[in-house]
Chain A
Amino acid sequence: MDLAQRYTNVGVIGAAGKMGSGIALLLTHEMALRKTSPGAREERFKLTLMDVNDEALDGLKGYLRSQMRRLAEKSTVRLRAHYADRPDLVENGEIIQAYVDDALDLARFTTDLDQLAGCRLVFEAIAENIDLKVKIYKQVKKLAPEAFIFTNTSSIPIRLLDEQAGLGGGLVGFHFYNPPAVQRLLELITSPTTRDDLVADAQQIAKDLKKKVIPASDIAGFIGNGHFIRDGLYGIAEMEKLRGDYGFAGGTYMVNRVCQDWLIRPMGIFQLIDYVGVDVFQCILGVMNQFIEGEELHSDLIDELMKRGVRGGQNPDGSQKDGFFRYEKGQISAVYDLDKGDYQPIAAAWSDRFDKALGGLPDGHFPWRALSRDTSKTAKLEGYFGNLAKAEGLGARLGRDYLKRSKEIGEQLVSSGVAAKAEDVNGVLLNGFFHLYGPINDYA
């Protein structure tokens, strides 16, 4: 079956979730473009958006309607040609509305997995749970024997899922980054048993959805989480070392700052864990620990936080939930103190002591935001990291160690075969995590 045929009947499982809704949007747009493109009018297109959460499906409908309008507004130059044969549609406004209607008309919202019968492409984005995923795949296999399945798993080996569900190589890892509609990066995970025609289709679909593909080997955590999880564990270990002198809250604050300011990253490591979710971090950690040998991938602290209900992640409106930090209008306002079981507000009177202990930033420092838009950032980074290498003070020392560890992790991903080459590791961190430089660099 060629890909054009496959595109006519597509399903998303877990469509109302964080990742599923973004994937649903990308597919709605791509399928609506195909449906309305000149010459394709006769074909029937069907996109089945399935989730067990009925209420969340209502939210998905609203999300698709508003986001499809936004996409249509951006694509109007092209869409005018799609509706050239419709004399009743003249103005941009009329064409945009017609496209949004056509797009939503091809989507069906359901809580019933049986509705996926006959699907030719299935995208799965349910919880990161091996047994649940396997169970669902088995059902899909019955309902839609021809379907290729694309899983958004963050960490679970593809081959294991494929074999347990008896898919015969019909599963591929299609790892979007959050939010899928915005983030360009996609990790494509194949195992030696993945069907060649599926790999070719997956490459093409990624291209259709305007994603930048980086291939990763089928080793738990892949590249993105392979780096992030280890980087997070290192941050936790560094914090534990500071905890004696500066307390839990102080140590957390300091390590996070080192990561954000001395390493010029978009956010510190603990803010990133909050963003991803302490729960998600724990879950991925668990999966990786199960499949990766010779490495202790575990954190008592993460388990303890989860026990206390400190989970991070986002509210349905996109605002950040409490985790290592508490947030006000997206900005860190307080830090969790494990010893007190409460949040410590971050005011100058409190944080001065830790800022002093870290010392000043090396010369030539620029904040991440300013550098991210700077066309001469490479030269500026070189200058800055040159200074960091010679700088004194606790912050500089912690920063240098952090850089070194991050590089080690990157190199380990290459040497263990997760990534084919250093550029792939760097590409994931640059595109998926918005770092300004890859972990495998000459700065460390």
Chain B
Amino acid sequence: MKLRKKVYIAAGTYTISLGTGRKEFHPRKPRPGLEHYIIEAGQGVLAQVSDPRVIDECVVGNFMAARFNRQGNLAALMPTIHPSLEYKPSTRVEGACGSGGLAVMTAMKSILADLSDVVLVIGIEVQNTVKAIYGADVLAGAGHYASHRKNGHAYFFPSFFSDRAGAAFKKYGHDEVRRAMTQWFVNAIEAGRRCPEAQEHHNRVEDLHALGNTPPNPTAFVDNLNVFDCSKVSDGAAGLLVLSEEGLAKAGIAKKDAVEIVGCGTSVANLTELPADPTTLATSRSAVEKAYGMAGVSVKDLAFAEVHDCFSITGILMAEAAGICAQGEGFDFVSDGGTRPDGRLPMNLSGGLIGHGHYTGGTGVRQTVDNWKQLTGKAGDFQLEIPANRPHGLVISMGGNDKTVVVFVAKQA
């Protein structure tokens, strides 16, 4: 399948990812709510267009505001960004932690259907409203409540990925896998330090390897992961525009400041089932293959990848799902620095979910913004030099335990 017309991304922005680690974060002080983040991200986008009235439509990606913030109907919060959005169409989409990717995808569909030329996309989650142990209940909604929650772990999602890590330990050897997971963590923090909005931007820990190697504590957490293997609890939002060719002109955005989505893929897998092979991300792989196929590219054409690393183990398995390495080779690849900025295929240059932060329902939008930043030369201290013969960037946005996946391949417009 090919896209029937060109679709562009531009005017990206994101707020800081607020949570433990950021100097601005005080657990006991009042914090900004949903409304604040929607406005900050939305106005950050509008500041990059000639006239706010060019926006035809809004899409907001969010996972669980109904529980974290006791707020539904987020689509109707969009007019708080600008009065001109009053009476415009607006849709909220949800696909767990893949909500952000789905939001971008939904906006694309509007462009492709000729319903809109300029769509404002916001991805948002504000989840420091509850302690982590209760947040685990909320996030567990990304799994199947009826079949898995009662017998599940207190830290429901970490335990799914702890099981994946455990399966990888068995298959490939504990030390080899552990080494790669720790290296993934180290890379994530170092990258986060280079991105001013990242949650780990203020991280000053000297010996990150030692920290990353902290032994797991199964009585307080899960069997095979320590807390550093996990993305943190974050508040934040990201925003961008999805545009048609006409939309770019209307918004006064030059091509050099936009990227073109040349391929995309979406896949879901049966929520009620556990993965057949815990050492692969089969759904992600299926979506990646669709996107490569549509774009007519292969992994050799990528300059970098921005993937969903809710846990260190996930990031490594993503490298395999994206075809960057063969199955089982992701561990050595990561341990040997293959995903670092100077490696064969740099990944998560602004820190990924572990280093940048993970405002769950907003992360897919944040990843798409980072992809746009890299390809348009706006990434500041984490900017990569994009090789002319490998001009593409990959985004993998994943919801649940590899259940809802959206993938984009983009290049500078």
Contact = CB atoms under 8 A, between A and B. Distances in A.
B219 A77 contact: yes
A76 B150 contact: no
Nearest to A96: B133
A167 B199 CA distance: 61
A91 B131 contact: no
B301 interface: no
B137 interface: yes
Contact of A93 (B137, B145, B153, B220): B137
Interface string B129-166: 00101101100100001000111011100000000000
Contacts of A96: 133
A84 B136 CA distance: 18
B131 A73 contact: yes
B154 A92 contact: yes
A73 B133 contact: yes
Nearest to A94: B137
B220 A90 contact: no
Contacts of A90: 145, 149-150
Interface residues of A, number: 14
Interface in A131-186: none
A77 B154 CA distance: 5
A80 interface: yes
B149 A74 contact: no
A74 B220 contact: yes
Nearest to A95: B154
A79 B153 CA distance: 10
Contact of B221 (A73, A77, A84, A92): A77
A92 B219 contact: no
Interface in A66-89: 73-74, 76-80, 84, 87
Given A73-B131, A80-B153, A92 B137 contact: yes
A416 B145 CA distance: 64
A374 to B, nearest CB: 12
Nearest to A87: B150
Contacts of B133: 73, 76, 92, 96
A91 B153 contact: no
Interface in B80-137: 131, 133-134, 136-137
Nearest to B207: A375
B155 A77 contact: yes
A90 B155 CA distance: 13
A78 B137 CA distance: 16
Contacts of A93: 134, 137
Contacts of A92: 133-134, 136-137, 154
Dominant secondary structure of chain A at its interface with chain B: helix
Interface string A83-117: 01001001111001000000000000000000000
Given A74-B220, A77-B221, A91 B137 contact: yes
Contacts, number: 32
Given A92-B134, A92-B137, A93-B134, A77 B153 contact: yes
Which of B137, B145, B219 gathers the greatest number of chain A CB atoms within 10 Å?
A: B137
B322 to A, nearest CB: 33
A91 B150 CA distance: 7
Contacts of B150: 87, 90
Contacts of A76: 133, 154
Given A73-B133, A74-B220, A80 B149 contact: no
A90 B151 CA distance: 8
Given A91-B137, A92-B137, A80 B220 contact: no
B137 A80 contact: no
A76 B133 CA distance: 8
A84 B112 CA distance: 50
A76 B137 CA distance: 12
Contacts of B149: 90-91
A78 B220 CA distance: 8
Nearest to B154: A76
Contacts of B140: 91
A91 B151 CA distance: 10
Contacts of B219: 77-78
A92 B133 CA distance: 7
Interface in B172-211: none
Contacts of A73: 131, 133
A77 B220 contact: yes
Nearest to A91: B137
Contacts of A78: 219
Contacts of B153: 77, 80
Contacts of B154: 76-77, 79-80, 92
A195 to B, nearest CB: 33
Nearest to A78: B219
Nearest to B131: A73
Which of A80, A90, A92 gathers the greatest number of chain B CB atoms within 10 Å?
A: A92
A184 B150 CA distance: 34
Contacts of A79: 154
Nearest to A77: B154
Contacts of A87: 150
Interface string A343-361: 0000000000000000000
Interface in A34-93: 73-74, 76-80, 84, 87, 90-93
Contacts of A80: 153-154
A300 B302 CA distance: 82
A80 B151 CA distance: 8
Nearest to B210: A375
A73 B221 CA distance: 12
Nearest to A84: B151
B104 to A, nearest CB: 31
Contacts of B151: 84
A90 B137 CA distance: 9
B134 to A, nearest CB: 5
A376 to B, nearest CB: 11
A74 B219 CA distance: 10
Interface in B209-255: 218-221
A300 B221 CA distance: 54
Contacts of B218: 77
Interface of A: 73-74, 76-80, 84, 87, 90-93, 96
Given A90-B149, A93-B134, 18 more contacts: A73-B131, A73-B133, A74-B220, A76-B133, A76-B154, A77-B154, A77-B218, A77-B220, A78-B219, A79-B154, A80-B154, A87-B150, A90-B150, A92-B134, A92-B136, A92-B154, A93-B137, A96-B133
18 contacts: A73-B131, A73-B133, A76-B154, A77-B218, A77-B219, A77-B220, A79-B154, A90-B145, A90-B149, A91-B137, A91-B140, A91-B149, A92-B133, A92-B134, A92-B136, A92-B154, A93-B137, A96-B133
Interface of B: 131, 133-134, 136-137, 140, 145, 149-151, 153-155, 218-221
Q: Lowest 5 A-B CB distances belong to which pairs? A: A76-B154, A91-B137, A77-B154, A73-B133, A92-B137
